[in-house]
Amino acid sequence: MAAPPLCLKIQATDPTCAARCGVLQTAHGEVQLPAFMPVGTQATVKGCTSQMVAQTGAQMVLGNAYHLALRPGADIVRELGGLHRFMGWDGPILTDSGGFQVFSLERLCRVSDAAVEFRSHVDGHMVTLSPERAIAIQEALGSDIAMVLDQVIALPNDLAAVRAACERTVDWAVRCRAAARRSDQALFAIVQGGLDVELRRWCAGQLVALDFAGYAIGGLSVGERPEEMYAMLDVTCPALPEDRPRYLMGVGRPADILEAIRRGVDLFDCVMPTRNGRNALAFTDRGPLRLRNQVHRCDPQPLEPDCPCLACRHSRGYLHHLFKAGEMLGPMLLTVHNLTYYQRLMRGAREAIARGRFMDFFQQRMAGWSAAARQDAPTA
């Protein structure tokens, strides 16, 4: 009998909250949880080689089936050896199905129970993405974890619209599961339900009964307040099986990540560290630094004194200069720093959970960020 494509071993649970750490075994290696996945939408994390991404401490990256199906085409990726070889990444890869594009490209698509019809943002031709097609694309790409096709809608929203999207997500999950053929690829379902407690519980129950390899929590960080997102995590995480990984999709503020970890979430992804890095914002334990600001012009300090990344070998003044001069090295270095910061944050969380001290770690980080926010607040 072939080995399962995914195996989760929980090593410790914090005694003061639901935070947990463990190891996720995939076809391309282990991932220490909790973990943050850099986003490599088009088989690249913008501005970084795969080797640079690995040096930040990243263990798994994310690709997007919708975008890769448009460019260069899933069949081309398969012919060139699959997504791992294509992008030169030896570790695990998770691919999103394209469900988020149903939301982000809403003006270009039409949704029915059968499929989503897109007008390609690249050249305008019509593309049909059904649950079966989403699975076929991801199997051609050869990722370690494939996501079911789901429907994401903006929040807040009409309850009838949320219910319809939730029911469609469950129906599509059934079809995705039936279409899956690769024995070396794990399939994750996605819990939807907006901000409705009963819909979240219902959706989780329906998907858990289908026995997926892992479960994502989707449809959050799409317009709701942070407190509303946390309330949905409070409802959803306990409804998911303890022996399967839990993945919060598209949530990337450091504070939100720690809030989710203490509620039992294992996996995260977001463009926030890379997008902000390209726009001269660096994440630190004392809050964000905006490197275009004149205050950094003659600053000899590194971004963070204990950070091992390439950017922190230079002064803030040098990084300020790179952005003012329009040099591409500036966005590259800050991207590396932000990815390194996120990986250091996750490593710290894992170590704190293993010691049973996660809430101490949580409070220390929150206090540092809050102090920085108060310092930057405008005075009356």
Alpha helices in 210-267 (DSSP H): 226-236, 254-261
Collapsing DSSP to helix, strand or coil, 378 comes out as coil
Question: Which H helix or E strand runs over 103?
Answer: helix 99-104
For position 1, what pLDDT does the model report? 38
For position 224, what pLDDT does the model report? 93
Our measurement of the distance from residue 209's CA atom to the centroid of its chain's CA atoms, rounded to an integer in Å, reads: 25
Q: Which of 280, 270, 278, 268 is nearest to 46 (CA)?
A: 278
The pTM score is 0.95
Residue 236 lies in a domain: no
Our measurement of the distance from residue 174's CA atom to the centroid of its chain's CA atoms, rounded to an integer in Å, reads: 23
DSSP-assigned letter for residue 36: E
Domain that holds residue 187: 40-224
Output the domain CATH number for residue 96: 3.20.20.105
For position 110, what pLDDT does the model report? 87
Q: Which residue has the tokens 């950017």?
A: 311
96 is catalytic: yes
For position 121, what pLDDT does the model report? 76
For position 371, what pLDDT does the model report? 83
Beta bridge partners of 127: 118
One domain for residues 287 and 211? no
For position 142, what pLDDT does the model report? 98
Collapsing DSSP to helix, strand or coil, 308 comes out as coil
For position 193, what pLDDT does the model report? 97
CA distance 26 to 29: 5
For position 218, what pLDDT does the model report? 96
One domain for residues 189 and 290? no
* Domain count for the chain: 2
Alpha helices in 124-225 (DSSP H): 131-141, 159-179, 197-209
Compute mean pLDDT per 10 residues along the chain, 380 residues long, and list them.
Answer: 80 97 97 98 97 98 95 97 98 92 71 88 84 98 98 91 96 98 97 97 98 97 94 98 98 97 98 98 97 98 97 98 98 98 98 98 96 57
Residue from 144, 150, 196, 269 carrying the catalytic annotation: 269
One domain for residues 217 and 335? no
Residue 252 lies in a domain: no
376 is catalytic: no
Residue 258 lies in a domain: no
For position 216, what pLDDT does the model report? 98
Residue 234 lies in a domain: no
Residue from 96, 150, 266, 285 carrying the catalytic annotation: 96
One domain for residues 69 and 204? yes
Of 191, 209, 224, which residue sits at a domain end?
224
Distances (CA, A) of 81 to 84, 140, 184, 213, 237: 8, 10, 15, 25, 37
Residue 286 lies in a domain: yes
Residue 190 lies in a domain: yes
Q: Which of 107, 104, 226 is nearest to 153 (CA)?
A: 104
Residue 159 lies in a domain: yes
For position 99, what pLDDT does the model report? 79
